Amino acid sequence: KMKQRTFYLDNLCGLMLLYMIFIVHIAGQYNPCWVQITKAIFSCFMSWFFFKGGMMHRLQSMSEITLKSVKRLFVPYVIFLVIGFLLDVVRYHYEGIDVTRPVFYKNEIHTFLTTSIFRSTAASWFLLALFVVRLIFNALCPKVKPYVITIVFAVLSCMLWWLEKMRIEQQTSFYIPFYIGTMCHGLAVYSLGFSIKEKQFSKLWIFLAIAVEMLRFIVDSRIDFRTNNAGSNFFPLGIVYGMAGCVVFNCIFRRWLDFQIPLLTYIGRNSMVFYLMHYPIMIMSISLLKEQLHGIGPVSYSCIISGIVIVGLILSDLLFRIKKLHFIKESPIIDPIHPIFGRV
């Protein structure tokens, strides 16, 4: 029997990317009311990418999954790390900072060690996090139940959040890079996606997820996934909300949007290009056009940056059609013909 491609995950991936690029990263800089409402609805967006990764995971030998993950995650991460550093040099030089002084390189090294990225290609953090999550999960899963992995690493993520919160409040020098907590959080969500990839569509899971989502609109708690930070919110509740949101969105899209939608499906299938390239295009545009954009209103500002990013992404998509660059274009968390996702 020929395996069929499912469209709902592609479509949802495309929607989440569009939301992240144009709402979180561009319009989110001035946070009008409609952006706040949208952020409340899509607050699970980063959790969803890890959740989907778990849904797609196939247990393999460690050597096999390591080779695949190095090629599809770690190598692009290193490439964009180098690009990020070079763009930082250009950007800071343009802004009048002396990039020949040792202090510049000291600050760049400090940024990398504490955040795992360089500012100009900050979105690449996800590649390293997913790389680590995939390998750890594949190593643990044959020996430990997935739900145990979810609970243990969710607790670890909460503990690291609390330690960082205490460090800031008490102003101590002890510091654990936040991306360790991010990876723990990602592994918890990834493992849940693996363990309920079919169960999530049952009436019980749908009911539980909707109930949790309704609670979120009464007692809000949002998490900045990348920095493993909840601000003044209650972090553990934010983890649960993120997981519930993944189930709700998957059920909605599987039920009503499991067909090809030209723009969303295409973006979802080519998610790595749009995800990795939007950030340097946006950051460099903001930096290089700083004087020209000074003083204009937030709506005009967002429209101009959005237009530049759209053009840049179209050109990037054409660039990454070059055969030698296909390893970056291929999304590491999309398996288009995974048998459990055939049409029902």
Mean pLDDT of the chain: 91
Distance CA 24, CA 47 (A): 15
Query: What integer pLDDT is reported at residue 34 of this predicted model?
Result: 83
Residue 341 has pLDDT above 90, yes or no: no
Our CA angle for 224, 11, 260, nearest 5°, is 175
Residue 326 has pLDDT above 80, yes or no: no
Least confident of 153-167, 184-198, 284-298, 321-335: 321-335
Q: Which residue has the higher pLDDT, 114 or 325?
A: 114
Burial class (CB in 10 A: 0-12, 13-18, 19+), 256: exposed
Separation of alpha carbons 109 and 320, rounded Å: 29
| Residue 269 identity (one-letter amino acid) | R
Q: Cα(88)–Cα(117) distance, rounded to whole angstroms? A: 11
What is the pTM for the complete model shown? 0.93
pLDDT number for residue 28: 79
Residue 339's pLDDT band, with cuts at 50, 70 and 90, is very low
pLDDT band at 344 (very low <50, low <70, confident <90, very high): very low
